[in-house]
Structure 1
Amino acid sequence: MVTRDALLQVLTADPAGLLPAREQMAMTLGWHIILACFGVAFPAMILVMHSRGIRRDDQVALGLAQRWSKVAAVLFAIGGDCCTDR
């Protein structure tokens, strides 16, 4: 059975690797927030450009939508690779 003193010692201890772990978590969370914003914005912009290209028969808009879709594919591949547990 764990005594009260032992429990207090464990709960109030300041491990040596706590600050680097928190910094790493903050960096990871920050990048995930940025990637999530791009993950929402890119498909919306692609949809708008593709719709405009089809409705107005605009080849420039269709080409832009095609380029952006390639960028979004690479971004999603990188984001998926970073988020998988190994």
Structure 2
Amino acid sequence: MVRISVDLPEEVAAALQAAASARQSTPETLAAAAIRDRVADQAALEAALLQAEAEMEAGLGVPHDEVMLEMHAWAAEIRARHASR
């Protein structure tokens, strides 16, 4: 196990202490869990980006303009269906 020390602004430290107390935990446990989750999220994001880049290189991507046209048409259709409400 590695110990890392961080300096937090007083208000952040107080909020961390309050959140830990509310969960019957410690600030250290809560901070470690948050860091663990953040690192996992970053790894998942990087993997998704690599997959997306590979799909784009393979010609599987849809240009942004086309997607936006479809989204605007979809939204207009929904608004039209609910216009009478």
TM-score over 0.5 for the pair: no
Pick 1 or 2: higher relative contact order, CA cutoff 8 A, min separation 6: 1
Which structure carries more helix by proportion? 1
TM-score, structure 2 length as denominator? 0.38
